[in-house]
Amino acid sequence: MHHAGLFSRGEHARRYFLPALRARNCTEGGVFTQRIGAFFKMADSTLLSSTIAPSARGVAIDLLGAVLRRRRPLDDAIEEAPDLPGLSVRDRAFARLLVATVLRRLGQIDALIAHCLATPLPPRAAQVHDMLRLGIAQLLFLRTPAHAAVATTVDLADARGFTTHKGLVNAVLRRLSQDGPALVERQDAPRLNTPKWLWAAWSEAYGEDYARRIAESHMREAPLDISVRADATGWAERLEATILPTGSLRRAAGGAIANLPGYGEGAWWVQDAAAAIPAKLFGDVTDKMMIDLCAAPGGKTAQLASGGANVTALDRSPRRIDRMVGNLGRLSLHVETVCADAVTWKPPRKVWGVLLDAPCTATGAIRRHPDVPHLKTPDDVARLAAVQERLLHAAVDMLEPGGVLVYCTCSLEPEEGPRQIAKLLARGAPVERRPVQAEELGGLGEVITKDGDLRTLPCHLSEQDGIDGFFAARLIRK
């Protein structure tokens, strides 16, 4: 990725493209001499990418750089990508698929690159490394024809000014087009694609067999899960979906969501099946006063509001609040929204129910967010656990006697789930656990812990394409 702010846009162009243009100028009789000056004047006032038609692979390279070097979440990088709107809907989807595949298989792909290179690529050739990653993802995991994967990657190296690396790119990809499948067959994919600290944490928490099954589930794209306002059976038929034991609808991923039946009229919303469980643990919420903390993007708020609750939805981000309001508007659901820090905000009066979906490392949602393993660290677990502890105490204080608190995170890390509840109870908080019952979850007893909490793993419901990893505990105010 270019380092925005260090150079002007024209300077970026000079640094990356001038060597190639000079080489061509020397060999072609000076035919480009007069054009170079004009070209760079234009580059100073407009993005270089705007002078060249954007491609899905070019956008994918930029997105990879944003995630792996600038450490931007993939969703944010996609939202900020300047060339993405210039692509067709199909090419946008292809760009994201390319990036997601590289991120899911990064350990395997980098091991293959290392196998082919006598010495690592230097830092200045980081984009070449990313191009090799894209090419290998296409060759070995997306089943792109070898000639297309090789040729388009070599062309991308040329277009980005890495002409001296074209031969290397060509040689590595051609070699792997022959040897790659056998090499992949011998790889320990779950271990290679999982950071060591996560593998160790999951092995300690769930056992190595489950750690392997969790990691295997992360290599597959998650299906599309849907929450409906009413008539699950009818909508399952219209959406060509199945009904999961928990009540969510599930259909294969792919296609434009906004074009599906019922989207325009607000009959349903996208929500992972595991994420839909915590709100159901309140039972009947008709006319109940409830607070949804850290509420955006609003899926759980929509569940509570559609169930008849009077909901105050709180989030500290104005941008996320705006997005939630838009989502709820499509569903014709009206709730009170508050932009504030849940740790310090106080409701006007105590309420019957509080849902706290706390900020977390999201290691349970890697199927949907393959950038997470490459962005999170053990330090993030400790930092977020401290935030969760403060939020939990604030949430307890918002409850009236007999009120219900559901605490949840989409993390697989014990520090962000059961240990938070254990600490809260050990310190004498005026709450007690109300265990979750299998009948509340369509009979899924395997996702209930010995303490009576919800603990889904990505490998649960494996015969139905899995489920996100979620923890939830239900507490009653004394």
Report the half-sphere exposure of 226 (CA within 13 A, side-chain side).
Answer: 31
Q: Which secondary-structure segment (H or E) carries 336? A: strand 336-339
Residue 301 backbone dihedrals phi, psi, to 5 degrees: -60, -45
Burial of 221 (0-12, 13-18, 19+ CB in 10 A): middle
User: Residue 378, SS3?
Assistant: helix
Which residue in the block uniquely carries the two structure tokens 């949602």? Answer: 365
Spatial neighbors of 298 by CB under 8 A, at least 6 apart, are: 313, 323, 324, 327, 328
Residue 391 token pair: 């939020």
Spatial neighbors of 79 by CB under 8 A, at least 6 apart, are: none
Contact between 406 and 477 (Cβ < 8 Å): no
Spacing of C-alpha 104 from chain mean position: 11
Q: Kindly name the residue from 360, 408, 410, 459 that is annotated as catalytic.
A: 410
H-helix segments, 312-411:
318-330, 372-375, 378-397
Task: Please give the C-alpha separations between residue 260 and each of 226, 241, 265, 343, in angstroms, as whole numbers.
Answer: 11, 11, 11, 39
Task: Please give the C-alpha separations between residue 113 and each of 76, 88, 105, 180, 245, in angstroms, as whole numbers.
Answer: 28, 31, 12, 10, 43
**Active site includes 408?**
no
Spacing of C-alpha 57 from chain mean position: 20
Cα-Cα-Cα-Cα torsion 227, 96, 369, 136, nearest 10 degrees, comes to 140
Contact between 328 and 301 (Cβ < 8 Å): yes
Q: Which of 146, 161, 115 is nearest to 2 (CA)?
A: 161
Positive or negative, the CA dihedral 380, 346, 420, 445 is negative
Task: Please give the C-alpha separations between residue 41 and each of 13, 14, 44, 207, 276, in angstroms, as whole numbers.
Answer: 10, 11, 5, 60, 54
Spacing of C-alpha 396 from chain mean position: 30
Burial of 167 (0-12, 13-18, 19+ CB in 10 A): exposed
Q: Which of 315, 374, 382 is nearest to 343 (CA)?
A: 315
Question: Which positions are catalytic?
Answer: 410
